[in-house]
Chains A and B, each alone.
Chain A
Amino acid sequence: DAKTTQPPSMDCAEGRAANLPCNHSTISGNEYVYWYRQIHSQGPQYIIHGLKNNETNEMASLIITEDRKSSTLILPHATLRDTAVYYCIVRVAGYSGAGSYQLTFGKGTKLSVIP
């Protein structure tokens, strides 16, 4: 799996866009970028994933650079409930070999949404 690097923490004012970066400079052509978050005292929550095109869903947008070496998760209008640790994962999708089902997170980015 490609290694990812995220800033340890970020602040965002309530109602503003939160832009969370992730570097994955060793990503290979068949690896997807996935984002999860974990709100305090809750289970992890899937947010979005993408391969090379930008993606948007009801929760967030994912912008992947053309060279695919970095990506940005955008929460367009952050609320206090978005305060959480956000994890960026790079993995080959569809791979069913050993360990493929084990979800592992790095340190992530602790996002604090400020009133």
Chain B
Amino acid sequence: GAGVSQSPSNKVTEKGKDVELRCDPISGHTALYWYRQRLGQGLEFLIYFQGNSAPDKSGLPSDRFSAERTGESVSTLTIQRTQQEDSAVYLCASSSGTGHLLQYFGPGTRLTVT
């Protein structure tokens, strides 16, 4: 069956530009998560959606970061006025919602800010 997909797979942008990263979760998964992983580092939690609501946005690094989810499906992570420190792999995961520890990850979007 189809897994979690993310697009684009790679994004190179100039400092100061806005970017949108897309996540398509596994069909029927009510929970969706965004993480960031810098090179050689661990997972950094960004935000969690249950349905279309985000009970916890505490991981978003600054007000330049925002995310939304529509139709209890697709989610978009938007980074405004990108900075070089935003360079990382952005990972999306989904779960059935009954088991947060059983998360299925997408391949990630590698963002490079020049």
Contact = CB atoms under 8 A, between A and B. Distances in A.
Binding partners A and B: yes
Contacts, number: 53
A7 interface: no
B102 interface: yes
Main secondary structure of the interface of B (DSSP, over half): loop
A46 B107 contact: no
Interface in A95-111: 96, 98, 100-105
Interface residues of B, number: 23
Interface string B18-50: 000000000000010101000000110100100
Q: For chain A, give the interface size range.
A: 20 to 34
Contacts of B107: 42-43
A93 B105 contact: no
B50 to A, nearest CB: 9
Interface of B: 4, 31, 33, 35, 42-43, 45, 48, 56, 59, 91, 93, 98-108
Interface of A: 32, 34, 42-46, 49, 89, 91, 93-94, 96, 98, 100-105
